[in-house]
Chain A
Amino acid sequence: MIALILKRLLGMIPVMFIIIALTFGLMRLAPGGPFDRERKLPPAIEKNIQAKYNRDQPVWRQFWLYLKGVSILDLGPSLRYRNRTVDEIILQTLPVSVTVGGIAFCLASMNGIALGSFAAARRNSAIDHLSMTVALVAICMPVFVLAPICLLIFGLKLGWVPIAGWDSWRNVILPAVLLSLPYMAYVARLMRNSLIEVLQHDFIRTALAKGVSRRQAVIHHAFKLAMLPVISFMGPMAAEVLTGSIVVEKIFNLPGMGPFFVSAVFDRDDTLVTGITIVFSVMLLFFNLVVDVVYHYLDPRIRVHA
């Protein structure tokens, strides 16, 4: 087990190198630079700025300097927020995203699993149809439509939650719930399909024949196995949700990391783009590893093969 984890961790290094090289390269290929503005700068001033950020050097050397920084967790200065480093921006914004995302993750997985299980256990019943309709609506209804509607009702009309900002725990509720909805729906549908499939297996029929109640059969025998596809979805979902949603954080004006995924690219803030790409990739690789470890415990078949 430990050997497997170590092997996977070592395997991340070349993957990360390729990700960094690609991001770095693509940002340099994009037309327009971080210091371009409506006002064209006199050439001398432009030269001063390029020199300050080492951008007057050959690209391979800039890349080398950047890699050297990354190896000691120094992601360089932001090119737009000129007195902040990328490290500082990530450290300030990631906790906000992790808070909102963490709650959303729990809501999505717990509600999704519960909803999906009920639906599967009472297949074709009213509960099934109702929960699958809810799931379909949650998938189809984009957050940028739902969020302003919820803000209007719960924020402006009823005054239950603040409109925007990051002042108290009340700021977290609406964004976390909204963020969780589409993920919850996916989890519910996955869980339902998977549980229905597992319930048709021979070992469940055997259990039922031996006199185990249907309820017991679902909880003790089918549930664990049915979780497998859900778990593999939860890995990437965790990485996505925890690094911050672009739309939700923008609409609720949360000081999280999400909006930077887009704004940093538009600003051509190369170091910030690469920095948050690194954070996202590390999270993604990490949670995929977690998924593999959890798989090991849930599915005896995998354990045997390993």
Chain B
Amino acid sequence: MATGRWIFTLALSLLFAGCGIESEKPDFIILNGAEPETLDPHIITGQPEFRLVEALFEGLYAHDPTTATAVPGVAERYEISSDHKTYIFHLRKNACWSNGDPVTAYDFVESWKRSLAPETAADYAYLLYFIKNAKAYNEGTLTDFSRVGVQAPDAQTLQVELDYPTPFFIDLTAMPGLYPVHGPTLKQYGDNWVKPGHMVSNGAYRLKDWRLNDRLDMEKNPYYWDAAHVQLKTIRALPNSQAITAFSVYSAGGADLILDKGLAPIYLLDELRKRPDFHAATFLGVFFYRFNVTRKPFDDPRIRKALAMTIDRDLIVSKITKAGERPALAFVPPGTGGYQPPEGLGYNPDQARRLLAEAGYPGGRNFPSFSILFDTRELNTAIAVEIQQMWKRELGIDCFLENQDWKVYLNTQARLDYDVSRSSWVGDYNDPNTFLDMFMSDNGNNRCGWKNAEYDRLINQANRTIDEKERFTIFRQAETILLKEGVPIAPIFYYVGINFYDPQKWGGIHPNVLDVHPFKSIYRK
């Protein structure tokens, strides 16, 4: 029993070391999804990280809690040149870091330099590519940063020069990749600068404690320029990736707000969506199927159209996803930055059968067997099974299901080693370009093998057009090609963001297209 006794002593000592005294209850507890990978604004890529970083930091512009449009943040206002290529931002004098230092235009120049520096290895550095010479600097072909189009004539003025007019540039300045970081802290602590006790930030909150897979505590930043309007003093974010556990914690009163749509238990949605604390709103995300146009028989657009026209989207959203998703006939979610997409191919099995016959497979005879690829998740399986049935029933064609673990699936898709593949896309910013530019011939996110010169030309043309109405018209032409002629994809439904909170108790949380809910405007009723 020597082992037992030894272990017992060790365990006891650790028990008292491990669990501290029950900590003071914070003002507001959120269930935030997975453990944050990092809190470095230039490095983060996921939604859970984004929500926290948006509370800790602030860009030139920030998100309006109601509409998710860009509202002044560190910048008070901006001026734009007549060619729409130069922006001059005027920074607030009272914008401060959480240690009291003022936030200056120089901070922004240094921060954007860091975001672009190859050694930072920032995933989202490409959001800065709209700035003159930024791409070359990030790629390492240009080493002189002074030639990149960002300058600070004085501490309160930031001048940004773009390659071509970019109507959504102000929206980009509200993205973490363009947030300022505190230079001296980075220099002092290196990679450890994001840890509690080290981090200096400029948002409404500052970091108090952060324990891996346990909790992250934030407290109100007294130096924040708008601190007078920040109501919640302390916020705790609990990491959790299990829907059922998260929901139990919430039900037992252990949390006030569930923020991640992945934390809504799918099987209970029928019941849950009737409750007053269930809140869902369409946001900039679309679930769709890709066709590999480099493979037979999917190289024939008639086949792709036939398959796309036999997906009964209404059935999928009403019987499977069930959270109030809208069926998608177009790729860009309606209302993205004010854009209305064209009508795509609807549900029309009769015409689909005709197209299939025309393509040489009447009644689905001799149609080669193929697979639907998806990443392992219950929802994806359920949808794939349903679509498999639809294609069998309406077109008489057989396919089998192939599920792969996430990273394998991404790899398979990128190598174009599939027939039909489940996909999703969440917009980076509130503008149709974030959806439409991905199907340009040389875009790494195309992953269908689809190339269309006219489409490329239209997207490029739209992005050089200043007038919004004209620009959207060109986008609509391009999207029509994507949806009705090329059909490398079949959009299926638009995602909804799901939140749970008691509307009697909490105010300041609004449904919006980006599913952003800045904590600084949340208050207790």
Q: Which A residues form the contact surface with B (CB < 8 A)? A: 30-33, 35-45, 47-49, 51-52, 77, 80-84, 89, 92-93, 95-96, 98-99, 101-103, 105-106, 109-110, 148, 151, 155-156, 159, 162-169, 171-172, 231, 234, 238, 242, 250-256, 259, 266-268, 287, 290-291, 294, 297
Contact = CB atoms under 8 A, between A and B. Distances in A.
A32 B3 contact: no
B272 interface: no
20 contacts: A31-B412, A32-B408, A39-B45, A40-B445, A41-B126, A47-B118, A77-B191, A81-B37, A82-B38, A102-B10, A102-B11, A102-B14, A106-B7, A169-B15, A253-B242, A255-B212, A259-B213, A266-B406, A266-B407, A290-B2
A198 to B, nearest CB: 17
Interface string B158-198: 00000000000000000000000000000000011111000
A120 B244 CA distance: 41
Given A255-B212, A287-B3, A172 B19 contact: yes
Given A40-B414, A163-B249, A166-B214, A294 B242 contact: no
A95 B14 contact: yes
Given A45-B125, A84-B212, A38 B252 contact: no
A101 B10 CA distance: 11
B254 interface: yes
Nearest to A42: B126
Q: For the side of the interface on B, what is the size category?
A: 35 or more
A156 B248 contact: yes
Contacts of B211: 92, 255
Nearest to B247: A163
Nearest to A156: B252
Contacts of B193: 83
B245 A252 contact: yes
Interface of B: 2-4, 7-8, 10-12, 14-15, 17-19, 21-23, 35, 37-40, 43, 45, 118-123, 125-126, 135, 138-140, 191-195, 211-215, 238, 240, 242, 244-245, 248-249, 251-252, 254, 405-412, 414, 424-426, 444-445, 447
B22 A167 contact: yes
Given A253-B213, A255-B212, 17 more contacts: A30-B407, A36-B407, A40-B447, A44-B138, A45-B123, A82-B38, A83-B39, A92-B212, A93-B212, A102-B8, A103-B11, A163-B252, A164-B254, A168-B19, A169-B19, A251-B245, A266-B405
A294 to B, nearest CB: 6
A297 B2 CA distance: 10
Given A32-B410, A37-B45, A110-B4, A52 B195 contact: no
Contacts of A47: 118
Contact of A164 (B18, B191, B249, B445): B249
Contacts of B14: 95, 98-99, 102
Contacts of A99: 11, 14-15, 18-19
Nearest to B412: A31
A273 to B, nearest CB: 12
A251 B408 contact: no
A32 B411 contact: yes
Given A266-B407, A287-B3, A98 B10 contact: yes
